[in-house]
Structures are given as C-alpha cells and as structure tokens.
Amino acid sequence: MESRRLPSSSSSEKKLKRREILEKKKAIDQLIKAAYAQNDHLDYFPPFRHFQRNGVCVHLESGRGDKLSSSEKHYIQNLLKVNMEGPYGSEWPTEEKVKRREMVAPEARYIFVREGKPPNASATEDKAPIVGFVHYRFTLEEEVPVLYVYELQLEPRLQRKGLGKFLMQLIELIARKNCMGAVVLTVQKTNLLAMNFYLSKLRYIISSISPSRVDPLTRVDKSYEILCKVVDQEYKTVLEVYHLNMVKTIMWSIAHSTCFILSPLVHAGWRVDEQSRANFSLILGKFLRYADYAL
C-alpha cells in the first residue's frame, strides 16, 4: 500500500499564502461592489450638499453615467471642451472621443454642482442649471481599491473660489467611507494650474504607478502624470513608494557600466585567461539578462 506523504511545511505555507491572497482579493472585490451598490454617496455628508462662499452659492447632487439626460450629456461635453481642449492640444480630438464613451459608462458616478440652494424635498420645479461636475469611479490600481477621479470640471467663472478644494475634500471623505486605499487621478503635464492645485494645495503626490516613476531610464515620455493621495496607510508602499523600480534601475546601471568599463580594457589587450573570461561572460550575461528582464 502506498503511504500518503504529508505535505511539506513549505508547500502548506504556500497554500496558506495563496488562500490568504484569494481571500484578500475577494474582500477587495466586495468593497468595490458595496461602494457601487450605494445609491447616493452624498447621503453620509449632508453639510457637503451646499456650498456658499466667496460669492458662490451652489448645491450638490449625485448622478450616474447610465442615467444621464441628453442635456446633462451636452453640458458635460461642452464644459470638457472649454476647459480641456487647451491642455490636450493636438491630442484633443482623440481624447474627446474617449471622454464621450467614459461619460456614459454604467460605472461612472457623478457629483453635479448646481446653481443656488438645495431644493426642498417637496419642490416640483425644474432642476437648477449645472455649473460643474466630478466624475469618479471605484476601481483597482495595482490590487489597491481606489476612488479614481476621472474628471473635476468647474466653469471658468466659478474657479478659484474654493469650490474645487471643497469637492476634493468630499471625494476623500467618500473614499474613506467606502474603505478605499487612495484617491487617484490623471493630470496632463501641460495643465500647470491643475498640477499646482493638486500637488501644492491638496498635497497629492506623483504616484509610483505614474509613467514618469515606473521606469525612469527607459520610459517613453507620456503627456500625463498619475497623482494619488493615500487614505489608508496599509497601501502607502504600493502607490507611493517606488523603491522596487529604483532597485531594478540600479541593477541595470551597474551591469551596463561594468560592460562599458571592461570592454575597452579587453580590446586594449588586457590579458585574462580563457577560463576566467568564459566565467566572467557567463555571469555578466546572466546579470544583464536578469536586469533587462526585470526592467
């Protein structure tokens, strides 16, 4: 009779780890589902339904991409063109099409900024005009559940009156309430005012997943940066720290500098016996392959 082998401690450890990873993944999926299942994210933050400061009086209302009226769609497209055609430059026609698709996605959640005080619950009059909006979603970035701000747009006459900061404070509260790890967003590098707004005023940082951070040596120059603010410290290392990429970069630099220094020496007749040369080539080849693969 064949005796059953007991699993080795390393294989049971692996199984346990795999199970832990799967359970964590499941829990994160549940978080995102729960965040989407909530009907109105503003319900938890009644003081944020109304903004009255610096001569601006507006109220906020929730919306969804798959429930937009045609006038809301028109408004969004127009404001995007007014605010974003400049920063996108020649990329705008392509980007405009992408934004049109994103606008109506079922996952798209909105906060509409409407003129005037909030209407009474019993009021039957038409809705007040929109003067700005936030489009956000709950999603995964590097296995981290995040609130991703797709758009934050205010009409030019309402800018620089504290409303953008107010909306981003609300977004951070919504992210925390729904147990997200961070707020993430993309900004065009040419949109200097928005960059200054997020980086200097709101203390966002360029994320480790941003193109300029992912691969500092061989990166293709992209026109945007991904910014983030971690709201759950558990995820700080994933979205903020880019030490792994730095390690890869350093390895790559060492390997290539070694080649750079040694090859002229060898060409100049530096005498090395056959065996050492073969060993050296083998080790360097492996190191280079690993460094290139890692990068």
| Segments in 48-203 forming alpha helices (H) | 70-88, 92-103, 163-177, 192-196
Beta-carbon contacts of 23 under 8 Å, excluding residues fewer than 6 positions away, are: none
CA distance 174 to 64: 15
The site map against ligand COA for 65-104 (x = CB under 6 A) is: ------------------x---------------------
| Min separation Cβ 25 and ligand COA, Å | 30
Does 53 bind ligand COA (CB under 6 A)? Our answer is no
Select from 18, 24, 74, 165 the one that contacts ligand COA (CB under 6 A): 165
CA distance 35 to 58: 26
Q: Which helix (H) or strand (E) holds 115?
A: strand 109-115
Residue nearest to ligand COA (CB): 164
Which is nearer to ligand COA, 55 or 264 (by Cβ)? Answer: 55
Q: How far is CA 12 from the centre of its chain?
A: 35
Q: Which of these ranges, 1-9, 57-65, 184-192, 211-219, lies near ligand COA under the rule CB under 6 A?
A: 184-192
Which is nearer to ligand COA, 178 or 191 (by Cβ)? Answer: 191
User: What 3-state class would DSSP assign to 12?
Assistant: helix
- Do strands 130-141 and 109-115 pair parallel, antiparallel, or not at all (unpaired)? antiparallel
Does 193 bind ligand COA (CB under 6 A)? Our answer is yes
Residues 213/207, Cβ–Cβ less than 8 Å: yes
Which is nearer to ligand COA, 24 or 160 (by Cβ)? Answer: 160
Does 152 bind ligand COA (CB under 6 A)? Our answer is yes
Residues 118/111, Cβ–Cβ less than 8 Å: no
Does 52 bind ligand COA (CB under 6 A)? Our answer is no
Select from 62, 159, 212, 258 the one that contacts ligand COA (CB under 6 A): 159
Interacting residue ranges for ligand COA, rule: CB under 6 A: 83, 152-154, 159-165, 185, 187, 191, 193-194, 196-197, 201
